[in-house]
Amino acid sequence: MSKQVDVKSKSIVDAGVKTPSLHLPDASSTAAVILSQAMDYCAQKMGLENTNAAIEHVKQGDTMACSYCHYSAAQQVADALGMLDDNVQAAYMFEYDATPEDVCMGEALRIIPLHLLVWVERKTDALSALIDSLDRAMAMKLATMLGTSPDAYVLDVQVVDDSDVKNRTAYGALLSSLFQRPIKVWDRQE
């Protein structure tokens, strides 16, 4: 039996019978869900009345609110990358030390950028394109949610492969660091 994809209706035609359309998540809707759930998580953890209250806390630079949103968004971004790319083995959130200038300008209190270390079997252009697409979508959705202009980027994703981790090169060295160990937020085996 032959299967063909009907590009106009995005349906699969199998022996003349149309099956329902297959809908893959797009970056914009994925970003919207990630940010909405991150704000919900923040509201829940802080005992706030609703998501709008969490958004207001984040807008004001509340360190705790930003931290909760940051953690939840990291888990969800990692989950999305893992679902869409079988090469992704694990993902970690790591802190990037803010410079004194960043702290004085309020940069340390913001929810972004979200620093993730993604461990893959092998690096691919497809994963890089997926990350770039999700990054642009999240920047736009976050700007809309917070009523600000979009940042240049929201995601700072460093991709390491088995070789980087084994040889402790580049960001792969963070996984065996004694001083700045990243926090695992997603794992394919879990």
Instruction: Let me know if residue 9 belongs to a domain.
Output: no
Instruction: Let me know if residue 44 belongs to a domain.
Output: yes
Whole-structure pTM value: 0.79
Instruction: Please compute Rg for the chain using Cα positions.
Output: 19
Number of domains into which the chain is organized: 1
Per-residue model confidence as pLDDT tens digits over 61-96: 899 999 999 999 999 999 999 999 999 999 999 986
Q: How many CA atoms lie within 13 A of 178 on its CB side?
A: 0
Instruction: Quote the domain boundaries for residue 81.
Output: 26-187
Instruction: Let me know if residue 146 belongs to a domain.
Output: yes
Per-residue model confidence as pLDDT tens digits over 5-58: 343 444 444 445 554 555 557 899 999 999 999 999 999 999 999 999 999 999
Instruction: Let me know if residue 175 belongs to a domain.
Output: yes
